[in-house]
Amino acid sequence: MQSQQIISVQVDDRESRSAVLDALKEQDGVQIEVVRLSVGDYLIDDLFLFERKTLIDLTGSIKDGRLFSQGLRLVGSPQRSALILEGTSKDLAGSRMRREAIQGALVSLTLFLGVPLLRAMDPAETARLMLFAARQGRQFAADARPRKGRRPRGKARVQHHILQGLPGIGPARARRLLDRFGSIEAVMTADLDELAGIQGIGPATAEMIRWAVQEPPASFGSDEDDWLPF
């Protein structure tokens, strides 16, 4: 019976020097395996997939454009996935990235892609948060509570589900977009004229789509002391 209480944690080998791994090793009842994960940084009980980013990591992924593609990969995974954003606003003092740029990226990630965002102050709290999610997930399963918002299975259904998070896009329009462009990535990078040419979309909806998926450019030189509303 004791083995049933063990929480299995797979850690991506690129996180092998992370203080989060050290914090996990200090916890009782945790079985850790360092492997190469194709998506995310931590896989808990083969049910929960977490991408961990410090605030400095976040600004870097916004600048080089990785954040959006990472979000798509998280949403497309079979596990329940989330982004853990670690640190405090003072960590961003050296980046000089404006608050609006960061907020815009997080809006795209959470509201339009549907990636849950969790906050942690430090690596120890990140470790505790992931293990808490695992224990709470087990409790939900034991109580036989239905899961709200179950993610559709199969790649095509996941793609339709993601596209319907865009403004003005319902099931029929999502289907036409995929038929025309072939992938979510192609839809997100399509220009206004291409989007407006899809039956039922038109210029106004095309502009809303471009507004939703285009991350604002990073701005520097802000005099604000408080970078994030956390």
Contact 210, 195 (CB under 8 A): yes
Using CA atoms, how far apart are residues 15 and 9, in angstroms rounded to an integer?
12
| 85 contacts 118 by C-beta, under 8 angstroms | yes
β-strands 48-54, 42-44 pairing: antiparallel
Distance CA 179, CA 149 (A): 25
2-142, CATH topology level: Rossmann fold (3.40.50)
Per-residue pLDDT for 171 more than 50? Answer: yes
Domain ranges of the chain: 2-142, 155-213
Kindly report the CATH class assigned to 155-213.
mainly alpha
Task: Average the pLDDT over 2-9 and give the result.
Answer: 73
Q: Please state, in angstroms and rounded to a whole number, the distance separating the CA atoms of residues 81 and 161.
A: 15
Q: In sequence order, which residues have a C-beta less than 8 Å from that of residue 170 and are 6 or more positions away?
A: 164
What does the pLDDT look like over 60-94, one tens digit per residue? 888 888 888 888 888 888 888 999 999 988 888 77
pTM value > 0.75: no
Tally Cβ neighbours within 10 Å of residue 44: 24
Tokens read off for 160: 């339709």
Looking at 9-18, 132-141, 173-182, which range is the least confident one?
132-141
CA dist 34 and 42 (Å) reads 9
Q: By the 8 A CB rule, do 214 and 62 touch?
A: no
* pLDDT tens-digit map of 126-156: 999 999 988 888 776 655 444 455 554 567 7
Range from 118-122, 168-172, 184-188, 214-218 carrying the lowest mean pLDDT: 214-218
Distance CA 73, CA 113 (A): 10
